[in-house]
Amino acid sequence: MTVKPLLIAPLALLYAASVSAQQAPQMPPPAVQTPQPPTPANNQAKAPTPQEFAAQAAAANLFEIKAAAIADQKAQSEAVKAFARQLAQDHRRAQAELVEAAKSENIQLSETLPEEQQTRLEALEAAPDQFDAAFLSAQVNMHEQAMRLMSAYADQGKAGPLKTYAASEFATLRMHFLRAQSFSQ
């Protein structure tokens, strides 16, 4: 009995497809995948004005500095405390750079937190026994918001020192976001 050539090609393709599917890495279903941080390429947000950007970026830095100080005192894990100290150091540097960029564009920055962020900070400070989890969750949320802000301004903002600042800070914010996420995995 001879095998007809017309049957061999489809069988070979079927076999190749099944072998390829077995070798492909299995990805978790979309509902289980870790959310990805925004990137300049996937940002659809409208850029804020220079004044709005500077105010929001300053508030984000101030929140991170104050939240890190609370975490340095209340965190249970030494790894979380070390992360908080790194956050404080990076956001102090970022705030100093932002102040200079804002000055060069004649923008005055507030040194107080907006009410919404002050409320978040107070809730974090009052967090019960699970402080580390509350702190890390706040870090993921706040850094995701900050990355969206930086991404929108870096992509669509007015050219100048603030746009340069936004572009340069994105990588640090992304690193913080990913590190905060890694604690929960």
Neighbours of 152 (CB within 10 A): 20
Mind listing the pLDDT tens digit for each residue in 47-104?
799 999 999 999 999 999 999 999 999 999 999 999 999 999 999 999 999 999 999 9
pLDDT band at residue 28 using 50, 70 and 90 as cut-offs: very low
CB 40 within 8 A of CB 154: yes
pLDDT band at 25 (very low <50, low <70, confident <90, very high): very low
Range scoring the smallest mean pLDDT among 7-11, 60-64, 107-111, 148-152? 7-11
Q: How crowded is the C-beta side of 75, counted as CA atoms within 13 Å?
A: 20
Contact 48, 149 (CB under 8 A): yes
Q: Please report the pLDDT score of residue 127 as a whole number.
A: 84
Q: How far apart are the first and last CA of the chain?
A: 58
Whether 166 has a pLDDT exceeding 80, the answer reads yes
- Which three-class secondary structure state does DSSP give residue 181? helix
The pLDDT assigned to 44 comes to 58
Q: Quick one: fold of 45-183?
A: Ferritin (1.20.1260)
Average pLDDT score over the chain: 82
**How far, in Å, CA of 150 to CA of 144, rounded?**
10
Domains in the chain: boundaries: 45-183
Question: Which residue is listed with tokens 């050219």?
Answer: 159
The pLDDT of residue 45 is 59
Average pLDDT over residues 13-26: 41
Task: Dump pLDDT digits (tens) for 111-145.
Answer: 999 999 999 999 999 987 789 999 999 999 999 99
- Asked if pLDDT for residue 6 goes beyond 50, the answer is no
Both tokens of residue 96? 């100093």
pTM for the complete prediction? Answer: 0.75
